[in-house]
């Protein structure tokens, strides 16, 4: 085993550079500081000077610059994000144990169980260095979950790449998928779902989002605060190195000291083994109640951890920075404060628990160093070899950053985009109508980049580890068992549609929520909470700012209407190539609860002769659809949002699952009914005989529209013959549109749709599963 | 301090008293991932799982040992290469080679550790397609005379999950010929060889039949609804009932 020094020696080179002390800063007010290179604006630097009453030291400047960055401070979105906390009823708060603001929100599952989940972005690093960017995205979100006192139990990864046939897409795709697999598989966390979208708007700016979920007993919930004067502050896990410096703000300037080695990359490098050991070691600390407060080190590293722990607790902390264990002894104090080296945690420990804490560290061979202690001075004091280099009110660093009311306005082009409907457009010419044309269209749809099988990706992820995965990709939601005795578990789904949101950001964000909500309900789970990852372009562009403001307004209104609160999330801005922003992409994750995961509903048909029903009504809604996308059209209005109908549909799916009235359920969304029918067939290789005549007559649509329209609040379910009357009665009593569209056919090996040439399941599978291997090998 | 068991810890189930006395050790190295799953499999088979730590220097009177999957010590050097030197491993090697022939099962990383320990011949290299692969895999049971396969029938096909990056079994031709001649190939991949393993070998045993290693994960096919969708989903349970029957039989 490695020898672990309890207290590290000051770095050997500690005196090689001139230390800018607080005393020195007061004495030399006119020293030029590289605030602009560190990403601060003039007004922000002036504000720092005002807060401190003097110029900041180099170390203080480093802290403020990362903590006041857009990534850490939410300065452009804060004024809008408030709505998530405001548009909440008492009823919605009932199961929320920890809300927005902590590392992750916590929701009550009952029986003394709690669940925490959160989704975050790791977009820019994943473009620069896809493997490490995606890997450390998983690492970061998992540490957020551990910080709450939970055992992480699963991950998911919504991914958005450039055009499937662009030469650079394979680089990003291969790297990101291998990174997520390489890191997540090594942590022993099943990957239970996600998304995959190809669109040229993401070419220079892929979206790599990561979600993690963890479970704990109520009494194990931990918060990030440093309380209790005299308690010890400890940093443990990996050593601090030069990786990821300024990752949250900008690539760090080298002007601190010109004798330094070459510039280091702003992308962090992950070590999944260190993280796995850190997980087990933290859980052992929690089990022994050995920590008072805990915080992971992610964006802004020690700057973030010390200022947040101190400001959330009794308000003071004293830290000796030379005690930090380093990988690179040449790091300056500012670099140590900004480093985003992975796999590190900071904790607050009472003096009487120090010995027990060290025993756990030693057992897992985790390095640690005691940095200082909690004080009641209200100041965060950081020393370097005893000399004070930081003396700040931690609140000013962690919470009182600048807040901007960025100007925003409805873009001039929005009206003309919305006026450009697909129906009747040039791209709509020659719409398939003959049986052979419709069969070809269905096959083309399910082979298209966004609708094809994602198995090439998901087969590179371990979905079994832990032994609690009750459902995973390609079903609508991932389902994980929490309690082995009762079968209590959670379901999770993430969704976003950048095209819908581009056409109407308010509605688009609501549609993302509606789909994730529906996916969770489809599995039979009761939707409980929301986490969102808002991926947008530059907030300094009024068009983008309007998209962001509208999306937040839409999402918060919809959460209120569906009665599920946002418990946490992340905002990722400046996602653009040059001046061209990505489609606004609010990725919404919904978490639901299943009293017994054995009752989950899968998406595929199995039993011959079961009745297939379409729930919900179909309108002519092709704008923004996958079909329009395949034809190269983007315009018009996205599908209508009907949250009352989503809620009703959700109730039907949940009740039907609980009472054993359905054996399969699949939501109808991107790709319309055509995609849903093919996916339900291919899930277990069991086909069906379908007639959509009643749908066409009732809703006044033609066969093409019935198949390809993306009207919302719809699902396809398979009902056992014995349950058909009961199921129909329930739908009728709830006044929800339902129509029998066919029967499961386990013998034929085909999907037969009246008016469409017979589709063989083998051919459909070949088309569906062939696309990704064709492009990515 | 919490009274409840930590998440993932053992949940007690009523076991057949005859079997519950059997103690099966499950080894945890730093970086082991499937240890809780292996312990669950032991419990569901009716025995008592005993947690063994890599730094332990005794085997805690266990009747058999499972070395589960994962990435021991990160496997940054070569899968299993460092784990082989853990203090507990020398105890396991001695016990496996002793008169008593302690039954040892190595799954995935555990198999890699057993080859590194020279309890089993050959080695594992990266999958021929160079990617991590997770899938439901059909295996044919070729040898039912080992401590871990007695409850299967010869030629029986079972479906268990496979999930690994370094799963390609290799050995020199002489060793492969000897393994086949001595009936020491215990499992073969059926339908498709998922990693390029020589002669479709998925698992092997030592000469005495007490040590078995395989790449696929029987401990993930023990509970319907939480394992493979094809077949019963519980076709891996036989490993654990086999060794129990062997232990209980031996003790009669």
| DSSP string covering A170-211 | HHHHHHHHHHHHHHHHHHT--EEEEEEEE-GGGTTS-EEEEE
Q: Are A547 and A505 in contact (CB under 8 A)?
A: yes
Using the Cα atoms of residue A248, residue A115, residue B13 and residue A190 in order, give the sign of their dihedral: negative
Query: Among all chains, which residue has been given the structure tokens 């607080």?
Result: A22
* Residue in A161, A190, A164 with CA at minimum distance from that of residue A177: A161
For residue range A227-236, what is the model confidence (pLDDT) as tens digits? 889 999 999 9
Average pLDDT (B221-230) is 93
Facing residue for B132 by CB, picked from A215, A460, A470: A460
By the CB < 8 Å criterion, does A463 face chain B? yes
- Does the beta carbon of A697 lie under 8 angstroms from any beta carbon of chain B? no
- Give the whole-angstrom CA distance, residue A662 versus residue A681: 16
Which one of B4, B33, B131 has the shortest CB-CB distance to A188? B33
Kindly list the catalytic residues of A. 71, 122
A343 class by beta-carbon count within 10 Å (0-12 exposed, 13-18 middle, 19+ buried): buried
* A465 interface with B at CB cutoff 8 Å: yes
What tokens were used for A252?
A: 């760090």
**Model pLDDT, residue B19:** 76
Find the helix or strand (DSSP H, E) in which A557 lies: helix A542-562
Whether A186 and B74 lie within 8 Å, measured CB to CB = yes
Separation between Cα atoms, residue A457 and residue A471, nearest integer Å: 17
Task: Give per-10-residue mean pLDDT for chain A (777 aa).
Answer: 38 59 93 89 94 94 91 91 93 88 87 95 90 93 93 97 96 96 96 96 96 94 83 95 68 38 61 94 94 89 90 88 93 90 94 97 96 94 94 92 94 97 96 98 98 97 96 96 96 98 98 98 97 96 97 98 94 91 98 96 96 98 98 98 98 96 97 98 97 98 98 98 97 98 96 98 98 95
Produce one character per residue of A446-471: b if its CB has 16 or more CB atoms within 10 Å, e if not. bbbbbbbbbebbbbbbbbbbbbbbbb
Question: Is the Cβ–Cβ distance between A764 and A443 less than 8 Å?
Answer: yes
A466, B8: Cβ pair inside 8 Å? Answer: yes
User: Alpha-carbon distance B114 to B123, whole Å?
Assistant: 9
Examine residue A474 and say whether the peptide bond preceding it is cis (omega within 30 degrees of 0). Answer: yes
Q: Is A1 on the interface with B (CB under 8 A)?
A: yes
User: What is the Cα–Cα distance from A592 to A575, expressed in whole angstroms?
Assistant: 30
Q: Rg (Cα) of chain A, in Å, rounded?
A: 27
The residue from B54, B108, B116, B235 that is catalytic is: B108
| Radius of gyration of the CA atoms of chain B, in A | 17
CA torsion A496→A502→A504→A507, rounded to 10°?
10
Chain B residues within an 8 Å CB radius of A277: 30-31
Q: Which chain B residue lies closest to A189 (C-alpha atoms)?
A: B33
Give residue B33's pLDDT band: very low, low, confident or very high (50, 70, 90): very high
pLDDT value at B14 more than 60: no
- Return d(Cα A161, Cα A206) in angstroms, integer: 5
Structural element, H or E, at residue A551 = helix A542-562
Kindly indicate the confidence band of residue B4, based on its pLDDT and cuts at 50, 70 and 90: very low
Is the pLDDT confidence value at B2 over 70? no
Interface membership of A182 toward B (CB under 8 Å): yes
Question: Which residues does chain A have within 8 Å of residue B223's beta carbon, measured at their own beta carbons?
Answer: 467
Active site residue B217: yes
Q: Determine the Cα–Cα distance for residues B86 and A386; give it in Å rounded to an integer.
A: 42
CA dihedral A97, A98, A104, A107 (to 10 degrees): 20
Residues B70/B35, Cβ–Cβ less than 8 Å: yes
A-B C-beta contacts closer than 8 Å: 106
pLDDT tens digits, one per residue of A174-203: 999 999 999 999 999 999 999 999 999 999
Q: Of A493, A464, A538, A768, whose CA–CA distance to A650 is shortest?
A: A493
A220 inside 8 A of chain B by CB: yes
Residues 362-391 of A with CB under 8 A from B: 364-365
What's the gap between Cα B201 and its chain centre? 15
* A145 φ/ψ angles, rounded to the nearest 5 degrees: -70, -45
Q: Which candidate from A271, A365, A465 shows the least CB-CB separation from B34?
A: A465
- Among the listed residues B142, B217, B220, B235, the single catalytic one is B217
Instruction: Tell me the per-residue pLDDT of A362-385, one tens digit each, with 9 for 90 and over.
Output: 999 999 999 999 999 999 999 999
List, edge to edge, every strand of the sheet that includes A687-690: A664-667, A715-719, A611-615, A738-745, A687-690, A750-753, A759-760
Q: Counting beta carbons within 10 angstroms of the beta carbon of residue B239, is it exposed (0 to 12), middle (13 to 18) or buried (19 or more)?
A: buried
Q: What is the ipTM for the molecules in this complex?
A: 0.93
pLDDT of residue B20: 74
Q: What pLDDT is recorded for position A242?
A: 85
Question: What is the nearest CA distance from B39 to chain A, expressed in angstroms?
Answer: 11
Tell me the C-alpha distance between A743 and A745, whole Å: 6
Do A390 and A384 meet the contact criterion of CB atoms below 8 Å apart?
no
Residues with Cβ < 8 Å from A381, sequence gap 6 or more? A316, A317, A318, A319, A375, A388, A390, A391
Quick one: how far is CA A556 from the chain centroid? 17
User: What's the CA gap between A172 and A203, in Å, rounded?
Assistant: 9
Determine the pLDDT at residue B15: 54
When pLDDT is averaged across residues B96-117 and rounded to a whole number, the result is: 97
Sequence-ordered list of residues with C-beta below 8 angstroms from that of A311, at least 6 positions apart, any chain: A380, A393, A394, A395, A397, A398, A399
């Amino acid at each position: 085993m490695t020898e672990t020094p309890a207290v590290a020696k000051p770095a050997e080179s500690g005196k090689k550079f001139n230390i800018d002390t607080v005393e020195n800063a007061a004495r030399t007010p006119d020293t030029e500081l590289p605030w602009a290179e560190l990403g601060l604006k003039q007004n922000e630097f002036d504000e720092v000077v005002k807060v401190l009453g003097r110029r900041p030291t180099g170390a203080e400047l480093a802290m403020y610059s990362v903590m006041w960055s857009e990534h850490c401070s939410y300065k452009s979105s804060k004024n809008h994000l408030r709505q998530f906390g405001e548009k909440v009823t008492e009823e919605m708060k009932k199961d929320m144990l920890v809300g927005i603001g902590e590392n992750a929100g916590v929701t009550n599952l009952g029986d003394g169980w709690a669940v925490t989940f959160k989704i975050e972005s790791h977009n820019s690093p994943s473009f620069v260095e896809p493997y490490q960017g995606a890997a450390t995205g998983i690492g970061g979100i998992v540490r957020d979950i551990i910080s709450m006192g939970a055992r992480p139990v699963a991950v998911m990864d919504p991914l958005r790449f450039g055009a499937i046939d662009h030469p650079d897409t394979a680089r990003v795709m291969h790297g990101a998928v291998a990174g997520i697999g390489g890191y997540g598989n090594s942590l022993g966390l099943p990957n239970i779902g996600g998304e995959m979208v190809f669109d040229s708007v993401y070419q220079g700016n892929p979206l790599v989002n990561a979600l993690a979920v963890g479970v704990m007993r109520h009494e194990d919930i931990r918060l990030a605060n440093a309380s209790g004067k005299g308690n010890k502050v400890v940093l443990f896990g990996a050593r601090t190195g030069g990786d990821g410096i300024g990752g949250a703000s900008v690539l760090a300037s080298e002007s601190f000291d010109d004798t330094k080695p070459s510039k280091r990359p702003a992308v962090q490098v992950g070590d999944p083994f260190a993280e796995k050991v850190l997980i087990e070691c933290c859980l052992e600390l929690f089990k022994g109640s050995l920590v008072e407060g805990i915080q992971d080190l992610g964006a802004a590293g020690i700057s973030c951890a010390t200022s947040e722990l101190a400001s959330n607790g009794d308000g003071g902390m004293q830290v000796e920075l030379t005690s930090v264990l380093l990988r690179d002894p040449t790091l300056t104090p500012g670099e140590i404060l900004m480093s985003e080296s992975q796999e590190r945690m900071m904790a607050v420990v009472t003096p009487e628990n120090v010995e027990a804490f060290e025993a756990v560290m030693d057992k897992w061979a985790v390095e640690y160093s005691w940095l200082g202690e909690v004080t009641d001075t209200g100041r965060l004091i950081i020393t370097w070899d005893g000399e004070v280099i930081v003396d700040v009110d931690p609140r000013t660093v962690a919470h009182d950053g600048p807040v901007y009311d960025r100007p925003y306005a409805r873009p001039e082009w929005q009206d003309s985009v919305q006026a450009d409907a697909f129906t009747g457009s040039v791209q709509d010419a020659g719409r398939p109508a003959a049986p052979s044309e419709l069969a070809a269209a269905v096959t083309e749809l399910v082979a298209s980049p966004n609708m094809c099988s994602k198995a090439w990706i998901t087969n590179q992820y371990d979905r079994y580890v832990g032994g609690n995965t009750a459902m995973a990709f390609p079903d609508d939601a991932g389902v994980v068992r929490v309690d082995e005795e009762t079968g209590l578990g959670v379901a999770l789904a993430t969704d976003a549609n950048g095209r819908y949101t581009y056409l109407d950001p308010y509605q688009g964000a609501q549609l993302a929520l509606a789909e994730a909500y529906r996916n969770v309900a489809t599995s039979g789970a009761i939707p409980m909470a929301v986490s969102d990852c808002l991926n947008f372009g530059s907030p300094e562009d009024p068009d983008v700012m309007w998209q962001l403001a509208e999306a937040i307004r839409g999402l918060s209104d919809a959460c209120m209407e569906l009665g599920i609160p946002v418990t946490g999330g992340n905002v990722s801005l400046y996602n653009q190539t040059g001046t061209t922003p990505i489609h606004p992409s609010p990725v919404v994750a919904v978490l639901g609860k299943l009293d017994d995961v054995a009752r989950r509903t899968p998406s595929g048909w199995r039993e011959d002769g079961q009745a297939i029903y379409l729930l919900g009504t179909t309108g002519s809604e092709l704008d923004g659809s996958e079909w329009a996308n395949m034809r190269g059209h983007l315009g018009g209005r996205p599908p209508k949002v009907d949250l009352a109908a989503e809620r009703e549909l959700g109730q039907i799916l949940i009740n039907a699952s609980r009472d054993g009235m359905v054996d399969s359920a699949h939501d109808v969304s991107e790709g319309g009914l055509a995609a849903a029918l093919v996916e339900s067939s291919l899930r277990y290789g069991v086909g069906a005989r379908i007639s959509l005549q009643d749908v066409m007559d009732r809703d006044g649509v033609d066969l093409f529209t019935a198949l390809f329209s993306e009207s919302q609040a719809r699902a396809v379910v398979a009902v056992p013959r014995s349950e058909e009357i009961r199921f129909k009665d329930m739908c009728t009593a709830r006044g929800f549109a339902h129509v029998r569209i066919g029967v499961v056919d386990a013998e034929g090996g085909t999907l037969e749709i009246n008016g469409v040439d017979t589709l063989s399941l083998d051919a459909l599978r070949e088309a569906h599963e062939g696309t990704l291997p064709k492009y990515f090998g | 301090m919490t009274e409840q068991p930590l998440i993932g810890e053992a949940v007690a189930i009523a076991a057949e008293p005859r079997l519950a006395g059997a103690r099966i050790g499950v080894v945890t190295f730093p970086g082991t991932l499937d240890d809780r799953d292996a312990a669950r499999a032991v419990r569901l088979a009716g025995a008592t799982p005993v947690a063994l730590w890599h730094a332990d220097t005794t085997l805690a009177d266990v009747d058999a040992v499972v070395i589960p999957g994962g990435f021991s010590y990160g496997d940054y050097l070569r899968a299993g290469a460092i784990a082989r030197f853990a203090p507990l491993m020398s105890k396991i090697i001695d016990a496996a080679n002793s008169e008593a022939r302690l039954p040892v099962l190595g799954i995935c990383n555990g198999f890699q550790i057993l080859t590194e320990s020279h309890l089993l011949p050959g080695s594992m290299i990266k999958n021929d397609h160079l990617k991590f692969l997770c899938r439901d895999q059909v295996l044919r049971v070729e040898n039912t005379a080992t401590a871990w396969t007695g409850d299967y029938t010869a030629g029986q096909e079972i479906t268990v999950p496979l999930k690994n990056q370094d799963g390609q079994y290799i050995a020199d031709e002489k060793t492969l010929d000897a393994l086949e001649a001595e009936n020491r190939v215990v499992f073969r991949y059926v339908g498709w060889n998922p990693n390029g393993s020589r002669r479709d070998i998925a698992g092997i045993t030592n000469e005495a039949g007490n040590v078995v290693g395989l790449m696929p994960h029987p401990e993930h096919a023990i509970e319907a609804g939480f394992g493979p969708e094809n077949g019963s989903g519980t076709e891996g349970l036989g490993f654990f009932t086999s060794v129990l029957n062997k232990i209980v039989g031996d003790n009669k």
